[in-house]
Chain A
């Protein structure tokens, strides 16, 4: 189930962000994209997921056209981890994580709970945090909840926007290790934007954004 992005062109009203971008990712691979401030890392991830309008080009995940699939299909195929915030303030963490499953599937409440508790265990997240509302979380906890929500749907493509901010080396290593474990379980592709050397070295391949495209980062 490879991911193939062809001739991608993305622009904002004032600037071209990516031009003639091509990317191929094999099944179960983890790709890291080295990003700097405001160089288009978030746009790249959202563009590949089909979350932005007016993207020119093609993005296929297996036989699925990510740029033209409906919102519900995308929500159950692509998991997206926001760099900051990203949770719904009206809900506590448990409800935030359960939300995509409750809205898009008929999976029973018991099964949803099992999935969430399993994820908490795998990612060493304290279950007590599930009862907290987003405003009570720090940056790292918020990102972990984002990650659990992205993983609860068992996505085929996981997009992570700068996981490392504020995380200790120890937590970062453990989290990446757990993501690798989920990759083996669910046959999932991971693309992560980062400026952290550990993540760049841990990934199967690394890229950097240059000249409005992706170049292999060595």
Chain B
């Protein structure tokens, strides 16, 4: 067995030579593991993150360039049919799930507050509590998670499928930039959808919260409670939510397209793309939300 192994390795080489060579190689591997391993383990993900970030920025610039095609009326019509489809799928059809979660959050929020605070304080401070907890933080976060879970994953899968079917090449053959048909509608529809979802969520949380308050005190006024919230909403609050929707929606859409477009030949690449895209989207969306909240609301 050993002789056979020796002759296969290198005709004419001695047992000792092979052993020494093998031992040196092993030492080299051990050394490289002990020194370069941890460094690579730190550098590689950072380099990869940098590379992906640059490509995503590149994709944003490609989308902005492709936007000039919208100056043509016929192309604008083509774009709007796909844009409407995306807004309907991502923003309008999300009303059910957004609504259900809004009802649960509204009910939970008020019933918990009743457990911890006197009713008078809740009624007096309702507007402020709603603003800080729901309008500023929970609305954007939960809407973003819903957008990622039900629409962004679908877009990543759709783009991956279009890549598998070579439909990007088909469009190129027709002289049509695939960015125009596949990327641009998502790029513009996701921020609009996310903003719509913020609105549904806030409205539904308010309605369910009011229902709970009203059940415990039927004398409470619907408009009085609503006014207490509206008096808290400044232009600044709306602008910050709009920035969260625009930045968050745009990046969620672009990340879906980016990973979907990485698919080449195999269906397994589609699942991999969905997984990577979802991870990146959750991370990016949480970072945007936390940073914007810290910047805007920290005194």
Q: Name A residues whose Cβ lies closer than 8 Å to a Cβ of B.
A: 46, 49, 51, 70-76, 80, 82, 85-90, 99-100, 102-106
Contact = CB atoms under 8 A, between A and B. Distances in A.
Interface residues of B, number: 19
Contacts of A105: 74
A89 B75 contact: no
B82 A88 contact: no
Q: Is chain B's binding surface mostly helix, strand, loop or mixed?
A: helix
Contacts of B13: none
Interface in B147-200: 161-162, 165-167, 170-176, 181
B171 A88 contact: yes
Contacts of B82: 90
Contacts of A85: 165-167, 170
A75 B78 contact: no
A103 B170 contact: no
Contacts of A74: 175
A103 B165 contact: no
A131 to B, nearest CB: 15
Contacts of B78: 99, 102-103
Given A89-B161, A90-B82, A103 B175 contact: yes
A160 B178 CA distance: 23
A106 B74 contact: yes
Most buried by B among A71, A74, A106: A71
A103 B174 contact: yes
A99 B82 CA distance: 13
B266 interface: no
A88 B168 CA distance: 9
B174 A99 contact: yes
Interface of B: 73-75, 77-78, 82, 161-162, 165-167, 170-176, 181
Given A89-B161, A90-B82, A99-B176, 17 more contacts: A51-B173, A73-B175, A74-B175, A75-B175, A85-B167, A87-B170, A88-B167, A88-B181, A89-B167, A99-B78, A100-B174, A100-B176, A102-B78, A103-B75, A103-B78, A103-B175, A103-B176
A87 B78 CA distance: 16
Contacts of B174: 75, 99-100, 103
Contacts of A72: 175
B175 A102 contact: no
Nearest to A72: B175
Given A74-B175, A80-B173, A99-B176, A89 B162 contact: yes
B74 A71 contact: no
B74 A90 contact: no
Given A74-B175, A88-B181, A102 B77 contact: yes
A51 B170 CA distance: 10
Contacts of B173: 46, 49, 51, 75, 80
Contacts of B167: 85, 88-89
B170 A82 contact: yes
A55 B77 CA distance: 35
Most buried by A among B74, B78, B175, B176: B175
A61 to B, nearest CB: 16
30 contacts: A51-B173, A71-B172, A72-B175, A75-B175, A75-B176, A76-B175, A80-B173, A82-B170, A85-B166, A85-B167, A85-B170, A86-B170, A87-B170, A88-B181, A89-B161, A89-B162, A89-B165, A89-B167, A90-B162, A90-B181, A99-B176, A100-B174, A100-B175, A102-B74, A102-B77, A103-B75, A103-B174, A103-B175, A104-B175, A106-B73
A82 B165 CA distance: 12
A82 B161 CA distance: 18
Contacts of B73: 106
